[in-house]
Amino acid sequence: MLNTRLQESITGIRVVKAFAREVFEEERFAESNRDLRDINLRTGKYIASGMPLIFAMANISTLVVVWAGGYQVLANYLTIGELVAFMSYLMMSMFPMMMLGMFLVTIAQAAACATRIFEVLDASSETVEKPGAATLPPIQGKLIFENVTFRYFKAIAPVLSRVSFTALPGQTIALLGATGSGKSTVINLIPRFYDVSEGRITIDGYDIRDITLESLRRQIGIVLQEVILFGATIRENIAYGKPEATDSEIIEAARTAAAHPFIESFPESYNTVVGERGVTLSGGQKQRIAIARALLVDPRILILDDSMSSVDFKTESKIQQALERLRRERLCFVIAQRISTVKNADQIMVLDKGEIAALGNHKSLMAESPLYADIYYSQLKPETAG
């Protein structure tokens, strides 16, 4: 608990400062520290009471042996050498017992830690490869959802319900909807982060449950909403999915993601260490590096999960223009909150409560979908009027 408190306080230090909660966090840490102190004091009491008992037993045993052995020596039943040897054996046998008392507390602590470790090690993933799963060959990128229903952790209420659509290579599929409508669930099912509860998903005719996870995921590029960077250089983060990439390939991916200019502004350029979770970079910079990382592997299916949320409109425009060239031969899924990001998509899928409420391009949805029209006017009408 003490380590958890400390980690939370350090990781969320900006939030703590922003809400002026330093004193509160100090008190929480002090409380956890006191709890740990009390536990250690109780442990110390057990040791303090146990060790004297063990030593007393050892001394009493020695006294008994000397007393009884002395009579045996006087009666010529034992020699002095035999008595000394017996006492030596007794002390040798008592030493492990004394050490066992010292180790009891350590053993108890180790058992508690082992229980938590094995809970993690024994946790099984819901996504399991079938025995003899086939390797997915290089794909074109035709993806079909066939009556897909999905429930988290076998819950009763489905997150997605009978979702069906077809996406073709070169198309851009945009997903819109309120929070909890199922947008992220759709894209999480494609690389099999989860398995469908009902229905199936196919890529170029292959049911994704019948192919190996590695061969599937190596042909999918993903930029998640929560960007994760590793405590390494910018070069290593961009090349994470393709470690053998050349410098020119890395720079080209960074240019496409509009990341090259700010990377070049750093004194060490691509050799700049970003720190743990990319703490030295802004949100927009981290997202652009994540986009470059996905583009470098040259995926046939590209998934952008609200990846433009932390970049300004000018940078978004540059990224969109670069992605236009890349989308011609690959399938692209885009989740976005801004209509401007998805307005030119080939298909716009409007999700509502886990179902497809509307599907079409911008023009057709404006004419046929009141829900899409409401989203459009709520975002763009004030800008147009201004």
> Residue 227 sits in a domain of what CATH number?
3.40.50.300
Residues 351, 239, single domain; the answer is yes
- The pLDDT of 239-256, averaged and rounded, is 87
pLDDT of residue 52: 75
pLDDT of residue 356: 84
pLDDT of residue 105: 63
Which residues fall within 8 angstroms of residue 166, CB to CB, at 6 or more apart? Answer: 142, 143, 144, 145
Let me know if residue 135 belongs to a domain.
Answer: no
Contact present, 159 and 355 (Cβ < 8 Å): no
pLDDT of residue 104: 66
From 312, 299, 376, 331, select the one nearest 143 (Cα to Cα).
331
Q: Which helix (DSSP H) or strand (DSSP E) does residue 145 occupy? A: strand 143-150
Q: Is the pLDDT of residue 384 over 60?
A: no
pLDDT of residue 319: 65
Let me know if residue 314 belongs to a domain.
Answer: yes
Residues 324, 206, single domain; the answer is yes
Worst-scoring range by mean pLDDT, 83-87, 178-182, 230-234, 377-381? 377-381
Let me know if residue 134 belongs to a domain.
Answer: no
Residues 219, 111, single domain; the answer is no
Residues 332, 301, single domain; the answer is yes
pLDDT above 70 as % of the chain: 83
Residues 200, 346, single domain; the answer is yes
Q: Is the pLDDT of residue 383 over 60?
A: no
Note down the domain range covering 192.
143-385
Residues 117, 149, single domain; the answer is no
Residues 159, 113, single domain; the answer is no
From 305, 334, 47, 298, select the one nearest 174 (Cα to Cα).
334
Residues 76, 147, single domain; the answer is no
pLDDT classification of 385: cutoffs 50, 70, 90: very low
How far is it, in rounded angstroms, from Cα 309 to Cα 240? 23
Q: Report the CATH number that the domain containing residue 68 is assigned in CATH.
A: 1.20.1560.10
From start to end of 2-122, where are the E strands? Answer: none
How far is it, in rounded angstroms, from Cα 86 to Cα 91? 9
pLDDT of residue 19: 67
Residues 343, 220, single domain; the answer is yes
Residues 284, 337, single domain; the answer is yes
- Give residue-wise pLDDT tens across range 161-215: 888 888 888 888 888 877 777 888 888 888 888 888 888 889 888 888 888 888 8
Task: Please indicate, yes or no, whether the overall pTM of this predicted structure exceeds 0.85.
Answer: no
pLDDT of residue 118: 80
pLDDT of residue 114: 79
- Give residue-wise pLDDT tens across range 340-361: 667 778 888 888 888 888 888 8
pLDDT of residue 101: 63
Residues 201, 278, single domain; the answer is yes
Let me know if residue 193 belongs to a domain.
Answer: yes
Mean pLDDT of all residues in the chain? 79
- Give residue-wise pLDDT tens across range 318-331: 666 666 666 667 78
Number of domains in the chain: 2
Let me know if residue 129 belongs to a domain.
Answer: no
Q: Is the pLDDT of residue 242 over 80?
A: yes
pLDDT of residue 168: 87
pLDDT of residue 386: 44
Let me know if residue 128 belongs to a domain.
Answer: no
Residues 90, 155, single domain; the answer is no
Let me know if residue 126 belongs to a domain.
Answer: no
- Give residue-wise pLDDT tens across range 281-318: 777 788 888 888 888 888 888 888 776 655 666 666 66
Let me know if residue 132 belongs to a domain.
Answer: no
pLDDT classification of 256: cutoffs 50, 70, 90: confident
More confident residue, 326 or 151: 151
Q: Is the pLDDT of residue 53 over 60?
A: yes
